[in-house]
Homo-oligomer: A and B are copies of this chain.
């Protein structure tokens, strides 16, 4: 099963994903797309790790997500991918201008073949004023298009608001 949890900043999307992973009873691999370069980001990763149970394992992969998914997906595992929006940022800021499209296509292509369960976390970033700057607009466009492409391919899609889940696709279990 593939799930997509979308939400604004501080909407509780990661906590919900972690709750689903925990409740599955399966082995959990946390696939972080953050790099620890940024001090603010490092602190967020530390908070994530504190919240995780000790039997979870961590894989950090800021760029090659499809490769990491193929390497880690398994019938008895939940992969928690947090998050697609940061991964999009990493790729758009990369010196190789074609990397985003290549990696995005690889992600979408690998999904049908993955065994086990995957929970993808992603941000909604399109409900404010259209931002200044070509890169910001490109980011907003790509993040929104990626959410659409993922939603088509996932069995369940949830929007989180104030920590509360709203099911956009697939029933509440």
Residue total for A at the interface (Cβ-Cβ under 8 A) = 39
- Roughly how many angstroms separate A127 CA and B123 CA in the complex, as a whole number? 8
How many monomers of this chain does the complex have?
3
Q: Tell me which residues across on chain B come within 8 A of A124, comparing CB atoms.
A: 8, 127, 161-162
Q: Which residue of B lies closest to A131 (CB)?
A: B129
Known contacts A12-B148, A144-B11, A148-B12; decide if A6 and B161 are in contact (CB<8 Å). Answer: yes
Which A residues lie at the B interface, using CB under 8 A?
Answer: 4, 6-12, 40, 124-131, 136-137, 139-141, 143-145, 147-148, 150-152, 157, 159, 161-164, 166, 168-169
Which residues from chain B contact A140 at a C-beta distance below 8 Å? 9-10, 129
Residues of B within 8 Å of A152, CB to CB, are 163
Q: Do B139 and A162 have beta carbons less than 8 Å apart?
A: no
